[in-house]
């Protein structure tokens, strides 16, 4: 596992400690992190503040996302995948997609390179959260 995914995992763990959903994300350009975020939907009472959206907000206006890679502990949903496509982010690295398959096909159909690392640490963290808080999880993915 590389440093960037470790940082995304740190964001997910911080979100969990805050009472939120443990999904973290970092945006990388030129070998350095330019944005970090975590799912803050619960903490901020904001239905669209997913980890990837928080990460993009924290990166700020950077004019061009060409050459950027978005790391996320979970395969991005359609909301976040739409932001990736909209801003022209060329690569997404996901920690896992077992607990949630996300929008991989959508991303790939729009020319985004997607790499699923299938990491046990990400799968275990998300699975434990879903079992302990199914109401928050299913609300987050719009199933309730």
Question: Mind giving me the DSSP string for 64-98?
Answer: --TTEEEEESS---HHHHHHHHHHT--EEEES--S
Quick check: is 49 in a domain? Answer: yes
Give residue 143's pLDDT. 72
Range of the domain at 7: 1-139
Say how far apart CA 11 and CA 5 lie, in whole Å.
10
Quick check: is 73 in a domain? Answer: yes
- Length of the chain as a residue count: 144
| Total domains, the chain | 1
CATH at 123: 3.40.140.10
For residue 35, give both structure tokens. 């944005």
Give residue 119's pLDDT. 98
For residue 6, give both structure tokens. 């470790």
Quick check: is 124 in a domain? Answer: yes
Say how far apart CA 48 and CA 37 lie, in whole Å.
13
Q: From the candidates 13, 18, 52, 139, which is the catalytic residue?
A: 52
Give residue 1's pLDDT. 67
Quick check: is 102 in a domain? Answer: yes
Quick check: is 123 in a domain? Answer: yes
Low-confidence ranges of the chain (pLDDT < 50): none
Say how far apart CA 13 and CA 15 lie, in whole Å.
5
Report yes or no: 72 and 52 within 8 Å, Cβ to Cβ.
yes
Query: Which distant-in-sequence residues (6+ apart) come within 8 Å of 28 by Cβ?
Result: 4, 34, 68, 69, 70, 71
Quick check: is 144 in a domain? Answer: no
Give residue 118's pLDDT. 98
The verdict on whether 52 is a catalytic residue reads yes
Instruction: Provide the β-strand partners of residue 28.
Output: 33, 69
Quick check: is 48 in a domain? Answer: yes
Quick check: is 55 in a domain? Answer: yes
CA angle 121, 127, 132 (to 5 degrees): 125
Give residue 138's pLDDT. 87
Give residue 82's pLDDT. 97
């Amino acid at each position: 596992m590389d440093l960037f995914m470790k940082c995304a995992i740190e964001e997910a763990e911080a979100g969990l400690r805050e009472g939120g959903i443990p999904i973290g994300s970092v945006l990388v350009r030129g070998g350095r992190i330019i944005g970090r975020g975590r799912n803050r939907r619960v903490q901020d009472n904001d239905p669209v503040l997913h980890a990837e959206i928080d990460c993009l907000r924290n990166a700020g206006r950077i004019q061009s996302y060409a050459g950027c890679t978005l790391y996320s502990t979970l395969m991005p949903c359609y909301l976040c995948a739409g932001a990736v496509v909209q801003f022209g982010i060329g690569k997404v690295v996901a920690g896992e997609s077992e607990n949630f398959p996300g929008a991989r096909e959508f991303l790939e159909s729009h020319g985004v390179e997607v790499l699923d690392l299938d990491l046990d640490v990400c799968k275990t963290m998300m699975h434990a959260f879903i079992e302990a808080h199914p109401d928050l999880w299913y609300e987050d993915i719009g199933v309730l």
